[in-house]
Amino acid sequence: MATAAASKLLTATAGVLTSSTSTLTHRRPLTCASGSHSPRLTPKPQDLIKWVRSKGGFVHPQLKIADHSSHGLGLVSDGVIPSGSELVSLPDHLTLRLRWSDDAQDWSDRPNSPLFQLVHRVPEELWAMRLGLKLLRERATVGSFWWPYISNLPEAFTMPIFFSGEEIKSLQYAPLLHQVNKRCRFLLDFEKEVKHLLMETTPETHPFCGQDVDSSSLGWAMSAVSSRAFRLHNLNAQDSVGANVPMLLPVIDMCNHSFHSNARIIQEQNSGNKKMLVQVIADTQVEHNAPITLNYGCLSNDLFLLDYGFVIPSNPYDHIELRYDGSLLDASTMVSGVSSPSFSSPAPWQEKIISQLGLYGNDALLKVTLGGLDLVDGRLLAALRVLLASNVEHVEKHSLDALKSLSEDAPLGLSNETAALRTIVALCAITLHHFPTKVMADEVILKRSDTTSSMKLAIEFRVQKKLMVVDLMTKLSKILRQLTDRQKLG
């Protein structure tokens, strides 16, 4: 239901905040920029750098904002910059975050204002929506301090909450579909809550200056924050002190992602006024025309797509989620030809170890993963090794950590290891079989000129998932061949 509803409602466009009562005199006309990057509310990226400098921030003189191929805009070097250089520095007042104070100049920033009440109705896991509400407030405020920043934000985002129902279905991967539907459902429900609360506010206390807010504008704001905010330590005593405080950082948020980034964010306390300073420092020498990149985190493609709207090809941190399930494992042994130890009905001693692994009993956490740096979820590997073993004394000689480690050299013997890995390869084959289309068919759709960009992104996501599984099967088959060779050698 949410999928279909979302496809109708969540359209992120420049008109997301449709003024019902006031004219936005601060809003410049919307002219779409040429080039490959997404259009801005008003495309004047170099003005953003000037604004940051004029407000006391520092941007290295050899930096500019420019097109960064398919990544949209990026912060790019106009000359050679030595390693260790300060690239950008933002004083505390240039970090946009939620700050509540009884004597705040803007009453919206006071505890118990309607904005405060709305923020506190958003669950913590959707933290981006909390700061998104503040962003919408600033976007609606005539003469907002933040307008030069907001006007350079993308007008539209590519997260799957903006996909059509058909495009969401084309992701073909249940855990992500679940997350997308959850977010869409939240936005649709939250729209009602916001509208209800706004009915009770007076024009003076209206958090969005009298403008309508709907699921599209909420989705735009949530996406702007999830794709651009950094969660940093807040060093200031007067408001939300602590780790993981989301902040929007002008100019710094023009840096695109790379796992091999050439810069990093550091936080300092200004020795003069003791306020926080957020800086970007070059980790390596930056060559002429090179983009400044930051590592957004070692994330799976699910999170990159959900929060940032892009997918990384051959992402070493990508994985698939499965539910640990005895009957699925039984099916895998049938596919692999391993003589079935009946995973569904383990012996009591095996059951005990599987419980210790958190895969059995009332408090079991049945989600396991395949892929990523570890290749196989340690708990799944240990469970298979144990369930395929017959000698309890032999198993009990090993710690759970040893049983969970793939690098541990066949702890329960070569034939046990071979059977466990063959079962996992079969599990991979079953997983691949469950995708409704094959990679070759996906590639044909990707090449078609009438495929929308969102559909391409959805297909690229599922192609990467399938290639990741194939790659895992190749790696496991290589280990299996080595085991067979060792078995032959006696």
Ligand X SMILES: C[S@@+](CC[C@H](N)C(=O)[O-])C[C@H]1O[C@@H](n2cnc3c(N)ncnc32)[C@H](O)[C@@H]1O
Instruction: State how far the Cα of 44 lies from the Cα of 41, in Å rounded to an integer.
Output: 9
Check residue 64 for interaction with ligand X (CB under 6 A).
no
Nearer to ligand X, 33 or 402 (CB): 33
Q: Concatenated DSSP letters for 9-28?
A: H----GGGS--SS---TTPP
Residue 25: phi and psi, rounded to 5, are -65, -20
Mask 351-390, x = binds ligand X (CB under 6 A)?
A: ----------------------------------------
Least distance between ligand X and beta carbon 229 (Å): 9
- Contacting residue, 6, 9, 12, 37, with ligand X by CB under 6 A: 37
Nearer to ligand X, 48 or 276 (CB): 48
Region of residue 274 (left: phi > 0; alpha: psi -120 to 50; beta: else): left
Size of the site for ligand X (CB under 6 A): 16
Interface with ligand X in residues 214-243 (CB under 6 A): 227-228
- Contacting residue, 43, 57, 72, 160, with ligand X by CB under 6 A: 72
- Contacting residue, 257, 275, 352, 486, with ligand X by CB under 6 A: 257
Check residue 310 for interaction with ligand X (CB under 6 A).
yes
User: Percentages helix, strand, coil for the chain, rounded to the nearest 5?
Assistant: 45, 15, 40
Q: Concatenated DSSP letters for 21-70?
A: S---TTPPP--PPPSSSPPBSS--HHHHHHHHHHTT-EE-TTEEEEE-GG
Least distance between ligand X and beta carbon 420 (Å): 36
Query: Please, what is the angle between helix 174-199 and helix 215-228, to 10°?
Result: 120
Interface with ligand X in residues 396-455 (CB under 6 A): none
Nearer to ligand X, 255 or 421 (CB): 255
Interface with ligand X in residues 119-178 (CB under 6 A): 154
Least distance between ligand X and beta carbon 34 (Å): 14
Which residue in 50, 31, 48, 39 sits closest to 96, CA to CA? Answer: 48
Strand partners, 245: 232
- Contacting residue, 26, 71, 169, 275, with ligand X by CB under 6 A: 71
**DSSP code at position 327:** H
What is the CB-side half-sphere exposure of residue 403 using CA atoms within 13 A?
24
Least distance between ligand X and beta carbon 40 (Å): 8
Least distance between ligand X and beta carbon 112 (Å): 32
* 152 burial via Cβ count (<10 Å: 0-12, 13-18, 19+): buried
Considering only 284-292, 308-316, 362-370, 377-385, which stretch makes contact with ligand X by CB under 6 A? 308-316
Q: Which of helix, strand or coil describes residue 426?
A: helix
Considering only 72-80, 130-138, 276-284, 386-394, which stretch makes contact with ligand X by CB under 6 A? 72-80
Least distance between ligand X and beta carbon 460 (Å): 11
Least distance between ligand X and beta carbon 228 (Å): 4
244, two tokens:
């993981």
Max Cα distance, the chain (Å): 84
- Contacting residue, 43, 74, 148, 378, with ligand X by CB under 6 A: 74
Residue type at position 332: S
Least distance between ligand X and beta carbon 147 (Å): 17
Check residue 309 for interaction with ligand X (CB under 6 A).
yes
Nearer to ligand X, 71 or 352 (CB): 71
Q: Which of helix, strand or coil describes residue 246?
A: strand
Nearer to ligand X, 253 or 377 (CB): 253
Q: Catalog residues that contact ligand X under the rule CB under 6 A.
A: 37, 70-74, 154, 227-228, 253-254, 256-257, 308-310
